Every structure is written in C-alpha cells, then in structure tokens.
Amino acid sequence: MTIKTTDFYPFYDPNRDRGRLSYISKSVISLAIGGVYIVAQYLAMADKSVFFSQYCWVLGAIISTAIMALYIATDVFRVSLSTVNKFKGNDQLSSYIVRHWLSDYNYGLAGLFCASVNVAVAHLLGVPGEFHSSPLSLSLMYVGFFVAGFSLGMGLFAVVAIIGLYLKLAPSLQHALDPDGDGDGDGDGEIKKLGDSLWFFAMLIAAVAVLVSIYMLGMKWQYMHLAYVRWIFLLWISMPYLVAISVVLIPGLAVRRYASHYQTDREIRPKQIKAQLYSSFKEFENFDDETIINSKKEISEKLTHINEQMEKLRKMRN
C-alpha cells in the first residue's frame, strides 16, 4: 500500500510551477537579507569603528544564519513527516500538524511576537549610546533586532510543532514499531531516523545560539548595572540553548518511554518460548539418536531466531 506524502510548503519555501527553490537561491536569499542590514548599518554609522566594536556585523550574521537554518530544517522536517506517515500507516497526524499548526498565518504571528519581544528586550538592556548620535543608525539597530527576532521566532514556532508532532506520535509507537521492518539490523525500524533528525535540529539551533551569545556578550549594553536587567540578559542568552536541549530531550524521553513499553511487552513471549525450548532438552533421553539430532537442530534454529529478536529489541530501547 502506498502511503500518501504530506505536502509542507510554507510561504518562505513555496512549491511553485517553476519548481522549488534551489539551495543556491536559498543561500542567496539568506545572505542578501543579512547582508543588506550589514551594509546599511555600516553606511549609517558616523564612526565606522563602532560598527566592529559593537559587533553589528554579528547581528547580520545571526539573521542570515537563522534564515538558512530554517530552510535546512524545513527540508529535514519533510523527511520526518514521511517517516511519521510510515509509522502511522497514513498521513492524518502529519497533515493535521501541517494544516492546523504550521500555517503561514501562525508562522507570521510567531515571527511578529518574537520580533516584538526581541525589540523590547534589546530596549530594556539599553542600546549603546554610540548609536543614539545618529537617528538612522539607531533605527537600523531596532530594525535588525526585529528582523532577527522574526526569523528566530519562526524557527522557535517550528520547534514547538516538531515537539508536538513527536509527542502525538509517541503513544502509537508500541503498536507501530517492527524490529524487522527495515531489515538493517538496527532493530528500531524508522525510529533512528526520527532521533537523528532531532539531533540535527538541535545542532542548527546551537549554531544560531553561539552567534547570539557572541553578539550579546560583545555588545556594551547601557543598563547592565541594574539587577533585573542582568536577569533578563541571562534569560535571553540562555534561551536558544534551552530550546536546543528541549527539541531533543522532550520528544526523546516520550519516545523512549513508549519504545521501552513496547520492548518489555515483546520480550515476554520470546522468553517463555526460550524457557520451553531449553526444557525440551530434558526429553531427549526418551528418543533415539537420530530424533535427538533433528530435535537439537530445530531447537537451535528457534533459539537463534529468538535471540536475534531479543537483541533487536534491546537495541530499540537504546
């Protein structure tokens, strides 16, 4: 039976008649948006040295990296949707997430919300005084905060959807898992692919988090002498790392829990059969030699098969 593929083409990565965006096009878009900000901010600065001392170029790098990471994560998420469809045997769950969660409207709301919060946090921290001498330069700083917040907000919203998808999938794993399903000897069917995708998402988030840390630590914020501002600073700089940990930890623990239940249930019957096969050796003295040889061979084959199944189940839990 052919399982339907879930179409996922948000506004920033559409599927038009001319085809989808190539990675060259995606790279150009990402670099262009961040590059335009960098050039505009540099030209607006009266003192060009401040552009480098206040890490303005890093803010442009954050914008470009966040957008490119969103493009890459979108492609990986499409593969995850196909894997989820294989587990479920249909596309109902993945289609529900795409239609009701990952709509362009929700993406826009998430981007606007995070952009507004990012601008507010930057204002509370205090934009360095060097930017206040030029209204254009100060305005561009807030524009940079807004664009960075918008792109990061869409990524954060996607992370929430990913976690939601995995949490909704987890309860059905014990009914859908098949340790012989892919024949690759891993014993975990497609579940390893889902786990690998979570780690990949976390690495993308961590790459952006490093740039955010460099920028926030490099900027000379005006109000860092205030205690509540320092707490806001610590919260904001740690946020990307918390998101990176959450995208692996939350769905990973849920999947592990249900996979463990599945493994425990599947091990009960093979253990019973294994015990019965071992006990059958005691009956060999009642038969002639040829019967004993044939029985031993049959029992050995069954034991080998059961041991392979139990080993696959152990790997599934790990």
- Whether 264 is in a domain gets the answer no
Q: Quickly list DSSP for 56-69.
A: HHHHHHHHHHHHHH
Q: Quickly list DSSP for 1-50.
A: -PPPPPP---TTS-EETTEEPPHHHHHHHHHHHHHHHHHHHHHH-SSHHH
Q: Within this chain, do residues 233 and 278 fall inside the same structural domain, yes or no? A: no
Triad 175, 181, 182: Cα angle to 5°: 140
Averages of pLDDT over runs of 10 residues in the chain (318 residues) are 79 85 95 97 92 94 97 93 84 91 95 97 94 92 97 94 89 60 48 85 96 95 95 96 94 76 60 57 54 58 61 55
Q: What is the model's pLDDT at position 147?
A: 97
Whole-prediction pTM: 0.81
Q: What is the model's pLDDT at position 85?
A: 87
Q: Within this chain, do residues 58 and 172 fall inside the same structural domain, yes or no? A: yes
Q: What is the model's pLDDT at position 61?
A: 97
Q: What is the model's pLDDT at position 185?
A: 40
Q: Within this chain, do residues 28 and 137 fall inside the same structural domain, yes or no? A: yes
Q: Within this chain, do residues 67 and 181 fall inside the same structural domain, yes or no? A: yes
Q: Within this chain, do residues 231 and 301 fall inside the same structural domain, yes or no? A: no
Q: What is the model's pLDDT at position 227?
A: 95
Q: Within this chain, do residues 225 and 110 fall inside the same structural domain, yes or no? A: yes
Q: What is the model's pLDDT at position 311?
A: 62
The answer for residues whose C-beta is within 8 angstroms of residue 309's C-beta and 6 or more apart is 179, 266, 270
